[in-house]
Amino acid sequence: MKKGIHPNYRLVVFKDVSANVTFLTRSCAECDETIKWEDGNEYPLYKLEISSASHPFFTGKMSFVDTTGRVEKFQKKFQRKPAATEQK
């Protein structure tokens, strides 16, 4: 393998700042800060704005819009008008 072309793949702590949740995993993410982890070792820290701990889809707080009314409104607005029949 060539030297110096591969990313630095190492253990990194990711912190979701909105939910205050941290998790340790392997990554190539560039980090400026470090944090002391539960095992006593110091790891690079990467701050996230959103993760599965705070995303509405994964937390169950996602609201679904009732599209049925929209579809019916669209169909009513753009329905085809019956062709005029010729009278004899």
- Do strands 10-16 and 21-27 pair parallel, antiparallel, or not at all (unpaired)? antiparallel
Instruction: Note the pLDDT of residue 49.
Output: 84
In this structure, is the dihedral angle defined by the CA atoms of residues 41, 25, 57 and 32, taken in order, positive or negative? positive
How confident is the model over 17-73, as pLDDT tens digits? 888 899 999 999 999 999 999 999 999 999 988 887 776 665 666 555 566 677 788
Instruction: Note the pLDDT of residue 66.
Output: 60
Is the pLDDT higher at 85 or at 78? 78
Distance CA 34, CA 62 (A): 33
Instruction: Note the pLDDT of residue 4.
Output: 87
